[in-house]
Amino acid sequence: MQHRPAPYRQPSAQPLALYVHWPFCLAKCPYCDFNSHVRARVDTQAWERALLADLDYEFGAVRDAGPIGSIFFGGGTPSLMPPALVAKLIERADERRGLLPDCEITLEANPSSVEAERFAELASAGVNRVSLGLQALNDADLRFLGRLHGANEGIAALDVAQRHFGRVSFDLIYARPGQSGQAWREELERAIGFGTTHLSLYQLTIEPGTRFATDVRRGAFAPLDDDAAADLFVMTREMTVAANLPAYEISNFAQPGQESRHNLTYWRYGDYCGIGPGAHGRRRGAATQRHRKPENWMAAIDRQGHGIESETPLAAEERATEALLMGLRLAEGVDPAGIAQRTGLPEASLLDPAKVALHRGNGLLWQEGSRIGATEDGIRVLDALLAEIVATARVAA
């Protein structure tokens, strides 16, 4: 039986976060299952009006919340946004809710020379952290991944970013077809040598509905086998620890204190507002979902003043499950007692005590005081581990 939603409790030290989705790209990457679209023309004035309206609606829904601790411009390719529009959204957020003095403002960017030319303007607009989609450091793999930039162009853009932004991260995709351990070791050593304080390192996954899924089905290429991918995963974690970039989440690595505060809001299950096509939000115990297709989202703005397709109150078990599944991705683990307090559920109902004891005994889980998390061995089999220990997932289903 599901519990009725308990009175909502925001984590005491967790400020509000804002996500802004810009859905447009110059081309659709074959591995990408994000809400991205290619359009010949974008009416930026209409998009400014619509995004500001969507933002105003969201802040009206959280009018009793505190100031904003982070803003994240994602996509799509938000580095294609006019810097003036980025500035207006930041200014409006500050007017409506207020920004913390050290508010983290991140923008995802493609590392093309054209977009790098905008970095100075984006920094002036208020962006203080950039996340570059390098994805690979050699031209052959960039072509395979469908990227429009070359390796030298990407590295040049990284250099420009490091001159303009106080904090820089970049993404790489590894476990590519045929990738050897030696090849990834050399590429990761080079990546670490660029000196950024944060890296996002993702194993290539074949997502349903992507062009890569079609290519694999047709036999155009074969994904790297599971054992080889697991070896690269272990190597990645060993090398990043040695470089003082330990994993604080499964695929994210940072010097201590340089973690993405915005993404930590997600993983710690704090409140965040999401605006723009397809954006998700979690606020006041409810899940919000915007219309995915840009044209449908724009039509909703004109019709109702915001782009929401659905706004669903979450039952206590659903909130607890989401908090556990997200938090157990983190090296810091989770505090079940805190989740119980926020959801109104008994702490004993959140995790299966017998399974927790079993997997602590076999070295897959650790427990320190009130916190619990996955060990290095547990991280390698996290999906299966979560399916066993998170009791509320079975109740919520």
Three-state helix/strand/coil letters over 314-369: CCHHHHHHHHHHHHCCECCCECHHHHHHHHCCCHHHCECHHHHHHHHHCCCEEEEC
Q: Is the dihedral of CA 344, 346, 351, 352 positive or negative?
A: negative
Q: What is the mean pLDDT of the chain?
A: 93
Question: Domain 316-396, what architecture?
Answer: Orthogonal Bundle (1.10)
Quote the DSSP letter at residue 78. G
DSSP of 233-266, one letter per residue?
A: HHHHHHHHHHTT--EEETTEEE-TT-S-HHHHHH
| Res. 183 pLDDT band, cuts 50 70 90 | very high
Region 293-317 average pLDDT: 97
What residue ranges do the domains of the chain occupy?
Answer: 16-267, 316-396
| Res. 30 pLDDT band, cuts 50 70 90 | confident
pLDDT computed for residue 38 by the predictor: 87
Query: What tokens does 98 get?
Result: 């207020």
Question: CB burial class (10 A; 0-12, 13-18, 19+) of residue 112?
Answer: buried
Condensed to tens digits (0 to 9), the pLDDT of residues 159-169 reads 999 999 999 99
Q: Is the pLDDT of residue 133 over 80?
A: yes
pTM of the model: 0.93
pLDDT computed for residue 6 by the predictor: 43
Fold classification of 16-267 is TIM Barrel (3.20.20)
pLDDT computed for residue 1 by the predictor: 34
| Res. 40 pLDDT band, cuts 50 70 90 | confident
pLDDT computed for residue 8 by the predictor: 43
Region 86-97 average pLDDT: 97
Condensed to tens digits (0 to 9), the pLDDT of residues 323-373 reads 999 999 999 999 999 999 999 999 999 999 999 999 999 999 999 998 999
% of the chain surpassing 70 pLDDT: 95
Condensed to tens digits (0 to 9), the pLDDT of residues 98-116 reads 999 999 999 999 998 778 8
Lowest mean per-residue pLDDT among 27-41, 241-255, 362-376: 27-41
| Res. 392 pLDDT band, cuts 50 70 90 | confident
Between the ranges 24-38, 111-125, 258-272, where is the mean pLDDT highest? 258-272
Region 36-41 average pLDDT: 86
Contact residues for 155 (Cβ-Cβ < 8 A; gap 6+): 111, 134, 137, 194
Element (H, E) at 20: strand 16-22
Q: Is the pLDDT of residue 291 over 90?
A: yes
